Amino acid sequence: MSWKTIPGALIALAIASSPALACKGKTVLFEDNFTDRDPAWGSSEAVVIEKGVMKITPPPNGVGAAYYSGDLFEKGDFCVDVTIPELKDPNETVVGLIIGGQDYSNWYLVALKPVGTVYVARLINSKWIYPVPEQ
């Protein structure tokens, strides 16, 4: 499976300004309120940070992503608020978090579709496997 086979695939469309509201853990390892652009998010034409929100907009039939390179975490819970605009085909859109990445060809994706399904995909040497199938 390649990104081109998922028309309009999105890694993340919008991450709300209060990611910790859903999680009330004892220790917060990382939180971003997106009031200022943290250089660790890198730069991408697909990413805009404004008014406390990160917006990621993919090109047509492509992927929009923001990679955070400011720290490494061995384990943890994550909480993200995502807002998805109205879509022509919600079954062909994916929103998720890339975790456990070694490089651009080897990582895990925890993915959700607006139709209410979730799955875990793993990219190994640029080839996809699905340890947790869509359900």
Strands 95-103 and 106-112 turn out to be antiparallel
pLDDT, tens only, 69-115: 888 888 777 787 788 777 778 777 888 888 878 887 898 989 888 88
Task: Write the DSSP symbol of residue 44.
Answer: -
Q: The pTM is what?
A: 0.65
Structure tokens at 30: 């990382």
Structure tokens at 124: 């190994």
Cα–Cα distances in angstroms (integers) from residue 64 to residues 23, 26, 50, 130, in the given order: 26, 32, 17, 21
Band of the pLDDT at 23, cuts 50, 70, 90? low
* Rounded-to-integer distance, Cα 28 and Cα 36, Å: 19
Spatial contact of 88 and 70, defined as CB atoms under 8 Å apart: no
- 3-class SS at 63? coil
Percent of the chain's residues with pLDDT above 70: 81
pLDDT of residue 72: 81
- 3-class SS at 75? coil
Band of the pLDDT at 57, cuts 50, 70, 90? confident
- Say which amino acid occupies 127: K
Structure tokens at 20: 């910790």
Spatial contact of 53 and 34, defined as CB atoms under 8 Å apart: yes
Spatial contact of 43 and 5, defined as CB atoms under 8 Å apart: no
